[in-house]
Amino acid sequence: MSDSDEAKMSGDEEKDIKEEPLNDSEIDDITNEENIMKVLIATDIHLGYEQTTKRAQEDDSFRTFEEILQYARDHEVDMVLLGGDLFHEAKPPHNVVMKCLELLRTYCLNDKPVKIQFLTDPEAVFSHCAQKVVNFEDPNLNVGIPVFSIHGNHDDPSYGAVGSMDVLSATGLINYFGKWTDVTQVSIAPLLIRKGVTTIALYGLSYMNDQRLSRLMRNNKFHMLRTDKADDPFNIFVLHQNRAMHSQNSYVPENLLPDFINLVVWGHEHECLIEPQHSKLNPKVHIMQPGSSVATSLAQGESVEKKVAILNIFKSKFKMNYLKLKTVRPFVFEDLVLNDYNDEISSYKSRQDAVEEFVDNYIENTLITKATEQLTAHPKQPQAPLIRLRVFYSEDRDVFDTLQLSQKYYHVTANPNDMILFRKCSSKLKKKDIKVQEQDLGEVSEIFRFDENEKDWKRTVQGGMTEYFNKPDKVNKLTVLSLTGLNESLARFVNANDSNAFKDLVKYQMEKSVSRLVKQELKTKDDILSAIKDYRDSRLHQQQEAKSEEESFFDARKNLPAKADNASRDEDDLKMEDNDEDVEEEPAPTRGRGRGRGRGRGRGTTSKAKETTTTPAKRGRGRASKNVTALDVTTTRGNQSINSWMSKSSKKAKSVILDSDSDSE
């Protein structure tokens, strides 16, 4: 250790921490490497991002994960600590799991001696794992770099079921901790790890529904257990939750974090704010937000330089070494306000053509240049950059078709089709007036269609759907599909990347409605529609039972991603949620995979979810008259009962039901 490192460790250059002067024995201890624990910290790796799209970014996550493991090997760290979302999907494809296993085997299994000791009963802290042992003490494995990880919302297993992190744990390559399945209370016991005279108490909490966790903390049902097996350990808490307040109580309040925690490692937020800072709401606690190692959305928070950190701990003192990730794809995010350049935009062409030419030159000469400056000369760094240019315009004639520019930059950038995003603004707006918001307000405005003067940024997509379908003139728009089911599907689509949520819900609720109808003697179209509405009304009067049933359906599906904390709960917890005045539908935050202290919000996931939920209604309107005619003909011939007719023409019956869902008033 260098003299400068010793000075930092002793607190001489650590601005955030005031330490007492060291005595001679402490100086001897601190100069001994055997007493300093080195932990590499990273979060939100998102292995497998863009694997299904076959875009240019499909291997980005693996390149950077390998770089992180190389840093761990080259700096001879004692352990690696991951803060969730190792995988991008709850049920990652086999090739993604295989690549992950190959990298972990290559860098973590070796003859390097492990210098840390595990002091906690593994049977207790790894009770959820198939192998209830810390991997570097397993006689069947030769672990050189232990990896400890919680799970995030993207690799969240279904309630009580096996997820991707459980599989890695069973292989012995990951020490999977912090999995919690009790939704009525949380009591976290620490993992005690020692090296020389230094002991850390590692607390972990894998992803939980933010509103539920916030409620448990507010109701004093969240506890972090202290230990008497170690004197004055260095306490680390790693979690994977919303940090910024995107809606009421859908985040973890920093002021409710225990004061005895020395350092909080905050996963889930993608903007790299890696230098530990005193929490403004809880000054006794240091918080570090490593951010993601790969950009999963074209958001401003994702464009911040990405790093990982090596945490050096000596007793109660710590310092950080920051390591820039050199394999990250260049990403330039910038705003262009046309009002600032009216004098430079050519007046010899049509305004639209002139603006297009100006934007083209700006991308080529300014943004591409900035992207080139981000190249690190690392042999594995991708060369084609991500570009996001938000163009603020005040007149509609400034908007042009971006297809031509997309074709021009097809082999130059990684995202040629979505480089440019238009934003309407006042004719008086200048770039200096644009303030960084905790969310991309323009994108949220489009989703919720707020009036420009009446924005309520605490609203959610689920809340908007509830308000819409509860209007008197819209109440009959949903008859087969339930509102609680649609909201639950949306939450799973966004939070767990569950692409089958809507399709499975439609199939499940249609089949359930058909099953109910065939038990009744229904002979005419009006009888069928009336029975469907009666069934809808009965569900509305028993919303909580219907919601619980739908959640159980989702979590019972096999080989599909599901949300862990919305699954089969006990009645007391359900009643508690009903009576919680702060929570109506437990909405999920509107998010894609770029998150950064609220700014790194992704667009794609939310808009896709919205499109998916509205598709059935659009299809239904186009088939209504044809299907009703088929029903009339069928019931006229021989005056058959509905039971007999459905057994012969189930496809037609299902079409009629879906149409009534969309068109009945």
How far apart (Å, rounded) are the C-alpha atoms in residues 109 and 635?
Answer: 70
Tokens encoding 27: 């100086």
Beta strands in 399-494, from DSSP E residues, in sequence order = 420-424
* Local structure of 653: helix, strand or coil: helix
Residue 517 — pLDDT band, cuts 50, 70, 90? Answer: confident
Mean pLDDT computed over 189-193: 94
What are the DSSP E strand ranges found in 189-306? 191-195, 198-205, 222-224, 234-240, 263-267, 273-278, 286-289
Q: Which residues contact 298 (CB under 8 A, 6 or more apart)?
A: 333, 386, 388, 415, 418, 421, 594, 602, 603
User: Kind of pairing, strands 317-324 and 79-82?
Assistant: unpaired
Structural contact between residues 101 and 173, judged by C-beta atoms closer than 8 angstroms? yes
Is the per-residue pLDDT at 13 higher than 50?
no
Which pLDDT tens digit goes with each residue over 230-271? Answer: 888 999 999 999 888 766 778 888 888 888 999 999 999 999
* DSSP secondary structure of 105-164: HHHHBSSPPP--EE-S-HHHHTTTSSS-S-GGG-TT--BSS-EEE---STTPPPTTS--H
Residue 82: in which H helix or E strand, if any?
strand 79-82
Contact criterion met (CB below 8 Å) for 314 and 366: no
CB 118 within 8 A of CB 175: no
CA distance 661 to 512: 14
Residue range(s) of every CATH 3.60.21.10 domain in the chain: 33-324
The whole-angstrom separation of Cα 288 and Cα 265 is: 5
| pLDDT, position 485 | 80
CA distances from 536 to 49, 543, 646 (A): 39, 10, 20
Residue 171 near residue 138, CB atoms below 8 Å: no
* Rounded-to-integer distance, Cα 516 and Cα 225, Å: 50
Which candidate, 64, 166, 146, 56, places its Cα nearest to that of 104? 146
- Structure tokens, 483: 């509102």
Q: CA-to-CA distance for 662 and 324, rounded, in angstroms? A: 53
User: Is the predicted pLDDT of residue 204 greater than 70, yes or no?
Assistant: yes
Q: Which fold has domain 331-433?
A: Translation Initiation Factor IF3 (3.30.110)
Nearest to 104 by CA among 66, 141, 136, 47: 66
The one catalytic residue in 46, 154, 246, 286 is 154
Average pLDDT (532-544) is: 74
Q: Does residue 368 or residue 18 have the better pLDDT?
A: 368
CATH no. for 33-324: 3.60.21.10
Q: Would you tell me the crossing angle of helices 604-621 and 461-469 to the nearest 10 degrees? A: 20
pLDDT of residue 26: 63
Give the CB-side neighbour count of residue 86, counting CA atoms within 13 A.
Answer: 33
User: What counts of helices (H) and strands (E) characterise the chain?
Assistant: 21, 18
Query: Rg of the chain's alpha carbons, rounded to an integer?
Result: 28
Q: Which two tokens stand for residue 490?
A: 């949306």
How many CB atoms within 10 Å of residue 293? 27
pLDDT band per the 50, 70, 90 thresholds, residue 344: confident
Domain with CATH 3.30.110.110 in the chain: 331-433
Q: Which residues contact 558 (CB under 8 A, 6 or more apart)?
A: none
The question of whether 154 is a catalytic residue gets the answer: yes
Q: Looking at the predicted structure, is the pLDDT value of residue 564 above 90?
A: no
What average pLDDT does range 474-492 have in this prediction?
77
Are 39 and 583 in contact by the 8 Å Cβ rule? The answer is no
Number of CB atoms found within 10 A of residue 451's CB: 8
Kind of pairing, strands 191-195 and 79-82? Answer: unpaired
Q: Among all chains, which residue has been given the structure tokens 């350092």?
A: 263
Check whether 454 has a pLDDT greater than 80: no
Binning pLDDT at 50, 70 and 90, where does residue 84 land? very high
Buried b (16+ CB within 10 A) or exposed e, 169-206: bebbbbbbbbbbeebeebebbbbbbbbbebbbbbbbbb
